[in-house]
Structure 1
Amino acid sequence: MAAPLAPAGRRAPDSLRTHRSAVVRGGRPGEPRRVAYLYILPALLVFGLFVLVPLVRTAQFSLYEWNGLGASTWAGLSNYRDLFTEPQLRGAFVHALVLVVFYAVIPVLLGLLLAAAMSRAVLRGMGFFRVVLFLPQVIPMVVVAIAWRQIYEPNGPLNDTLRFVGLDSLARPWLGDYTWALPSVGIVGTWVGTGLCLVLFLAGMSRIPRELYEAARLDGAGALREFRAITLPSLRGELAVALTLTVIAALKTFDLVYVMTSGGPGTETTVPSYQVYNNAFLLGRVGIATALAVVLTLVVFVATVLINRVGERGQR
């Protein structure tokens, strides 16, 4: 609908004149777009200086063989080829995929289960339980790693408890066992991530109208049917956020591995981030380390995009 004309002898308001000029130019009303770019220019400069420039330099280093001190030599894509041919480097990504199960899949499932149970039951001290379950997110990961390393010690609380209840055969040096070292680190990730997922899901469930559940119960739906038909579809946004945060945490984990196992026993708990550190600062293979960092960045980016695309499609 055309903008109304100002009465004769009176000047049109500034907003109306801006709207008319924008319509004449074929653009949108308001300030010119170039003015908006000036507002975000400082943020773009900071992002480019501290994110894009280091990323480009990292990609440049990945094309050379360099020990970090002396002269470098052109290597082309050979560093990237080594990522797929060296068993230790290739195995680091396999270990990261295993940790995704412990860091992301299990915490999301446990968070959904606990949130569904806590939202249905009226419990006193619900805020206290939320704080306790979310507490691992507040504790620094180095402190978490030191505490759990002591728990896993051969004479630590876990083995002492197993021996006390008569399960001596299950006691073992958890972080020194080739079979159980990686799952032991993963369990710590589950303990840390479950509280975050629980809080996200409880916040999402609080937005669901109670009338939906009342209508479902009038139709004879049980708890499982309510969860599948109402709760789960309403939490697609929270599920996408929880999976994004936990998958990224699994792929870029470093502190737990560094403090708890240092990649051992052997290379059974090495992950990409630890291999970046190991190759760059201990082995002097900066080209391999930067190539590994570039690939890890791409994997994290692709995983984030896929999770968010699936979440947006589900919401639509």
Structure 2
Amino acid sequence: MPRKAPSAVVRSRATPYLFILPAFVVYAAFSLYPLVRAAQFSLYEWPGFGPSTFVGLQNYTDLIGDEAFRAAIGNALGLILFYSGLPLVIGLVLAAVLRRGQVRGMGFFRTVVFLPQVIALVVVAVAWRNIYSPNGPLNQALRAVGLDELARGWLGDPGAALPAVGLIGTWLQMGLVMLLLLAGMSRIPNDLFEAARLDGAGPLREFFAITLPSVRGEIVVSLVLTIIAALKTFDLIYMTTSGGPGNATTVPSYEVYFRAFELREVGSASAVAIVLTVLVFAINVAVTRIGERGEQAR
């Protein structure tokens, strides 16, 4: 069998990289370069125009004692419960019920459930802001059933504002998570469920023994997507509460905007952005590693 010429071997090895290169150039131009520039800005004290002063890591050390920044990180971590935890639990239950019951009109139901994902978040925020208003539908419904003491200005109450915004995130992410899990459950062979039923397994045992282990990959993907959405949320906060009342609903993305465009502290804003990037990366790497270990343990 004739050997390939050295030049042909080199070309064959280089071909995959030639296909990847254009995509990498676009990725580098629109993602890596802005990230590097943000890291550079974080080392300076700069109002966004005119001369800048190199301060090293001072912007990062200032964040340690910054109450607004600590509140933003705490609120973002709290939103993970609403954006990831609740949608995952609800999505698992709904997907398992739909998979087991074979509901008619499944295509229409999937479209309706997924609809929040395709609506502009500004529209979603305005609609929910009206729902949560003191004379909005939610308070009117509470008063109609005699629960007047629960009625309040939800987005203006320091104790209720973050959960109120978080529930909007639950509504947004629930459909996406459910569809991902339904796609995973549709790949499970029916023979496994039939064998389990012949052995006397009930719905709960089927769920924990067959369904849950089979959609581990989809669960990891759902968590990664929803955690990213929770940590980088901005437009929803901006349009509903603007971080208020006080620091009750401020999040890192909103802090970046507020420091850069309101306070004219571009260096501090860039430092917050870099910390947020590292936080998103670290949490999602941890989630992915846990998922991979679970797959290896099966």
SS of residue matched to 1:67: coil
Residue of structure 2 aligned with 1:55, choices 35, 40, 50? 35
Corresponding residue number in structure 1 for 2:67:
87
Q: How far off is 1:110 after superposition?
A: 0.4
Q: How does 1:289-308 map to 2 (within 5 A)?
A: 289-308=269-288
CA distance in 2, matches of 1:206, 1:41: 36
Corresponding residue number in structure 1 for 2:56:
76
User: 2:125 is matched by which residue type in structure 1?
Assistant: A
Answer yes or no: is 1:112 the counterpart of 2:92. Answer: yes
Q: How far off is 1:70 after superposition?
A: 2.4
Q: Deviations over 1:45-73 (max 9, x none)?
A: 22222222111111010011111112111
Deviates more, 1:116-125 or 1:267-276: 116-125
Answer yes or no: is 1:17 the counterpart of 2:42. Answer: no
Answer yes or no: is 1:187 the counterpart of 2:167. Answer: yes
CA distance in 2, matches of 1:141, 1:194: 15
Deviates more, 1:118-127 or 1:254-263: 118-127
Q: Deviations over 1:89-141 (max 9, x none)?
A: 11100000000000001000100011111111132222222111111111111
SS of residue matched to 2:3: helix
Answer yes or no: is 1:279 the counterpart of 2:259. Answer: yes
Q: How does 1:125-204 map to 2 (within 5 A)?
A: 125-204=105-184
C-alpha change, 1:214 and 1:158, in structure 2 (3 Å) is same
User: 2:275 is matched by which residue type in structure 1?
Assistant: V
Corresponding residue number in structure 1 for 2:239:
259
Q: Deviations over 1:140-194 (max 9, x none)?
A: 1111000000000000000001111111011000000010000000000000000
Q: How far off is 1:312 after superposition?
A: 2.2
User: 1:65 is matched by which residue type in structure 2?
Assistant: E
SS of residue matched to 1:175: helix
CA distance in 1, matches of 2:94, 2:244: 34
Q: How far off is 1:288 after superposition?
A: 0.6
Q: How far off is 1:31 after superposition?
A: 4.8
Structure 1: gaps of 5 or more residues: 1-11, 23-28
Q: Deviations over 1:212-248 (max 9, x none)?
A: 0111111111111111111011001100110010000
CA distance in 1, matches of 2:209, 2:153: 45
TM-score, reference length from structure 1 = 0.90
RMSD: 1.7
Q: How far off is 1:30 after superposition?
A: 8.8
Bigger Rg, structure 1 or 2: 1
Q: How far off is 1:267 after superposition?
A: 1.2
Residue of structure 2 aligned with 1:98, choices 78, 93, 102? 78
CA distance in 1, matches of 2:236, 2:175: 18
TM-score, reference length from structure 2 = 0.95
Residue of structure 2 aligned with 1:33, choices 3, 13, 18? 13
Structure 2: gaps of 5 or more residues: none
Higher relative contact order (Cα pairs below 8 Å, separated by 6+ residues): 2
Structure holding more helix per residue: 2
Give % identity: 61
SS of residue matched to 2:200: coil
Count of matched residue pairs: 296
User: 1:104 is matched by which residue type in structure 2?
Assistant: S
